[in-house]
Structure 1
Amino acid sequence: MGRDYYDVLALTQSARHDDVQRSYRTLSLKYHPDKNQSRDAVEKFRDISEAYDVLSDSKKRAVYDQFGEEGLKNGVPTAEPGGFTGVYTFHGDPQRTFKEFFGSENPFNELFTDGDSVMSSGAGAKFGGIMGRARPKQDPPVEKELWLSLDEVYSGCTKKLKISRRVLNDDGHTSSVKNKILSITVKPGWEEGTRILFPKEGDQEPNNIPADIVFVVKDKPHPHFKRTGCDLHYTAQVTLVQALTGCIIEIGTLDDRVISIPINEIVRPGFQKVVIGEGMPNAKNAEMRGNLVLHFDIVFPATLTPQQKQTIKQVLG
């Protein structure tokens, strides 16, 4: 599965671009070799730099979110016939990343920290850019939510999405609003938070690079299932008699099968039944699949007759 760059930067997959910058700023100052020369700190500083190098770049991050470190570093096929993404290799110089972010050969001459906050005497250091040369800038990625049902994620599908954006007219100065259809091929097993990148599909402006558009996967509520990672969770209602004596639970799966699950154990509060391999596909490893986890809601009788109470005492007492 490879390394978890989000964990390295103490982030979740839903982190925004500003969150990535903020986390790198704090952690890189904390573990910089000029302040902490232990072996663990040096290795941590390098890991932080590589994680930032990937997650701060919308193109690298989109590949990583969908295919993991292995796909990022080995390359994956693209939608174009014979196309293949480039192979990513970290340049190996965490000091270079640090200098490019803070815009200084020695940011500690200009920066001092107060807890997790960072104070700066120059705007270039604050925003991680090198001041000076005027060049077209690109706005931060525009994030949009892509709501998918568990059925769509289980089997995969194609989504057609219409966006409206400003496009420069032929004079290069004025613009008009035009619609465009973007196509997303949903891969089976995509987790919530997966990011799909469309480079430079944002508004066009003079002397400005259009922003990338990033769709972030969100789960639509399902009437029966919830998922955690690749596992599916299902709550079955059983009577008290079934809970004590056993039963068979029939469940309609997301691919339109019906599976019968025998419950031979006593269903007590907190009891779970795990069915191996009946969860969601793993988007990063086609040979793996999550599990189906059954939870139980025991329905107790509203009333009991004196004779029923006596019988239960005789049986269970």
Structure 2
Amino acid sequence: MGMDYYNILRVNRNATNEECRKAYRRLAMIWHPDKHRGDKQVAEAKFKEISEAYDVLSDPKKRAIYDEYGEEGLKGNAPSCSRSATSYPAGTSGQNIYPFNSRNAEEIFAEAFLRDFDLAFMAQPKPRRSQTGARKSQGVNVGAANMSQKAPGIERKLECSLEELYTGSTRKINLSRKVITSHGESVTRSETVVIDVKPGWKKGTKITFPKMGDEEVNMIPGDMVFEIDENPHAVYTRVGNDLVVQQKLSLADAIGGTTFKLHTLDDRELTVQLANIVSPGYELLIANEGMPIAREPGSKGHLRIKFDVIFPSTLTEEQRSGIRNILER
């Protein structure tokens, strides 16, 4: 049994060309494969089906053959009629009248919406001439404004810990967006998107899901955009690709040297040996222990250790004298 093109477009057999066009436009926007990444095969099949139905019902000759002989008649295979030209409406050959595969579903989609543009343009007031005979420019580019505009997008902050931005992570996010039903109604639908946060991404990095935002009638669906936001860390501060940490030292350690450990963002224990005397403003730099560099896989920034030297609050006269003797030698 052949396909019921009227049922596919959800129109009755007396539907006008304009009614068929509106029905196709609504369904094509719903079933376009770009909007169904999770189940693209099903969407492609449905999109092709409604495109085929519209291609037949919008063409008077094809529709006449289909109404009389069904889908087989379009291919010149109607069992109840001969294959002579006289068995079909005038102007048709009776053989290979409708080879749908030769017309891409995307081509039909583009033609249908191009027609919308043309109709919108013709409906605009014609530009008037000024008193000098020159044309006024206002209103000429208004045509097709609706279908060339995007519906409002969805913008969200994606809060990430510094650990997530160091090691990377996979985030599943549930949110709601407006979609247009096959009956032209706006409803709210829950969506789940998956974002792979890459090591080294920075605050302000944007992840865009094209046409996954809100939908509005006669408008291109908006985009869904997430912007990385970095949560403050208790120990480390990020400066570009570097990590900065404050380390407290006693005066004895600052002068005499010491060894201490830092817990890294990827759960390692980093042993730091301090051999130099820590003077005011001294900063120890450890290469390749900073943040991963997103555009240079395998590379990292620096770890910059700044020191806060803790001076003793009191000293005995003997201690003062001993320190002075040592420092003045």
Q: Is the 8 A contact 2:154 2:214 kept in 1?
A: no
Give the number of the structure whose residues are more often helix, by fraction.
2
**Which residue of the partner structure matches residue 125 of structure 2?**
none
Alignment pair present for 1:205 and 2:216: yes
**Which residue of the partner structure matches residue 150 of structure 1?**
162
Q: Note the 1:53-92 alignment, pairs <5 A.
A: none
Moved over 4 A (4+): none
Identity among equivalent positions (%) equals: 38
**Which residue of the partner structure matches residue 304 of structure 1?**
315
Cα distance, 1:149 vs structure 2: 0.9
Alignment pair present for 1:217 and 2:228: yes
Q: Is the 8 A contact 2:179 2:187 kept in 1?
A: yes
Check 1:191–1:179 CA distance in 2 against 1; reply closer, same or farther (3 A cut).
same
Structure with the greater alpha carbon radius of gyration: 2
Alignment pair present for 1:263 and 2:279: no
Q: Provide the C-alpha distance between the structure 1 equivalents of 2:138 and 2:272, rounded to a whole number of angstroms.
A: 62
Check 1:299–1:220 CA distance in 2 against 1; reply closer, same or farther (3 A cut).
same
Cα distance, 1:132 vs structure 2: 4.4
Q: Is the 8 A contact 1:201 1:210 kept in 2?
A: yes
Q: Which has the higher contact order (CA 8 A, sep 6+)?
A: 1
Check 1:171–1:250 CA distance in 2 against 1; reply closer, same or farther (3 A cut).
same
**Which residue of the partner structure matches residue 244 of structure 2?**
233
Alignment pair present for 1:251 and 2:265: no
Unaligned 5+ segments in structure 2 are 1-36, 40-136
- The match for 2:177 among 144, 159, 165 is 165
Q: Provide the C-alpha distance between the structure 1 equivalents of 2:170 and 2:142, rounded to a whole number of angstroms.
A: 43
**Which residue of the partner structure matches residue 55 of structure 1?**
none
Cα distance, 1:169 vs structure 2: 2.0
Equivalent AA in structure 2 for residue 209 of structure 1: I
Q: Provide the C-alpha distance between the structure 1 equivalents of 2:286 and 2:138, rounded to a whole number of angstroms.
A: 56
SS at match of 1:152: helix
Q: Provide the C-alpha distance between the structure 2 equivalents of 1:251 and 1:195, rounded to a whole number of angstroms.
A: 32
SS at match of 1:244: helix
Equivalent AA in structure 1 for residue 280 of structure 2: P
Give the number of the structure whose residues are more often strand, by fraction.
1
Cα distance, 1:139 vs structure 2: 4.3
- The match for 1:287 among 295, 298, 305 is 298
TM-score by length of 2: 0.55
CA deviations 1:266-314 (Å, max 9, x no partner) are 1112111010111111111113211111111111112112221222221
The alignment's C-alpha RMSD in Å is 2.5
Unaligned 5+ segments in structure 1 are 1-77, 81-121, 125-129
